[in-house]
Amino acid sequence: MIDETDDARLVALIDDQLDGPARQALQTRLMVEPDLRARYHQLAAGGLPFGPAFDAALAEAPVARLRAKIDAVAGAPPGRVRTGRVAAALAGLALLLIGWTVGHYLPGPGSPTPIAAEDHDDWREAVAGYVALYTPDTFANASPDVAATLTQLSRSLGIALTPDQVALPHFAIKWTDMLAYDGAPLGQIVYLDGGGPIVFCIIRNGQKDVPLTTEDRQGVMIASWARGGRGFLVGGRISKERATQLAGTLAARF
């Protein structure tokens, strides 16, 4: 069960605030604990359900009523008590105003719209965010049953995936994972070739066909394309040329 301590550790990992041993321990847990991994991706993607909570706060304490309370407090005799009450009231008003703003820009539960509705490629940003945390040691001891896990990914993504289809020359598959972004299934395959991890991700999100493009996100070079209602991505701390080459190999198959 995930608790507040786990959330704090995950946020520290996202903010690059963990030291080496703590980072390694948490990354190991992420590989073996699906619930923790799902929570990490939710936090990394900014998927916290703040909207409903702020709406409830606004309903219970409307801004106009809080303003009236502040005016009443401001008319009290001067002193430490008055100052503290005014500060608390102002802080409450600020929180409610923030809640009103955030509540209008974050989607409610079950909404398929990303936080930034005009940015339909947020899933690539989410992937880049956690790939930026990977190190050569993250998957050093991983040994997945590649054939079995690819079968699971195939069912969720609605596309046939076999070891031969996802193979890359000189790379070993070190990890496969079934994630989700904004309600869409997101499969991940991780490769190692002696350097940093390389990921191949597929999301089943109904995306229109898009030719292969490259971009740098958070220090991670991303090469992506879309075909047949799915988005594809190759990413890692590699050169643009290397990302394009690897993505071209896989794009020829998908």
Q: What is the pLDDT of residues 125-135, one digit of tens each?
A: 999 999 999 99
Give 196-247 pLDDT, tens digit per residue.
999 999 999 998 999 999 999 999 999 999 999 999 999 999 999 999 999 9
Question: What is the number of structural domains in the chain?
Answer: 2
Is 220 exposed, middle or buried (CB count within 10 Å of its CB: 0-12, 13-18, 19+)?
Answer: buried
Domain boundary among 105, 126, 147: 105
Residues of the chain below pLDDT 50:
47-58, 60-61, 66, 73, 78-120
- Two structure tokens written together for 76: 């009290």
Question: Does residue 101 contact residue 93 with C-beta atoms inside 8 Å?
Answer: no
Could you write out the DSSP letters of every residue in 19-88? Answer: -HHHHHHHHHHHHH-HHHHHHHHHHHTT---HHHHHHHHHHHS-HHHHHHHHHHHHTSPSSHHHHHHHHH
Residue 25 lies in a domain: no
Q: Are residues 125 and 204 in the same domain?
A: yes
Domain boundary among 105, 139, 173: 105
The residue written with tokens 């047949």 in the block is 228
Q: Which residues pair with 236 in a beta bridge?
A: 221
**Residue 74 is part of which domain span?**
50-105
Note the pLDDT of residue 252: 96
Question: Does residue 175 contact residue 187 with C-beta atoms inside 8 Å?
Answer: no
Q: Are residues 157 and 242 in the same domain?
A: yes
pTM flag (> 0.85): no
> Rounded to 5 degrees, what angle do the CA atoms 90, 96, 98 make?
105
Q: Are residues 135 and 246 in the same domain?
A: yes
Q: Are residues 174 and 215 in the same domain?
A: yes
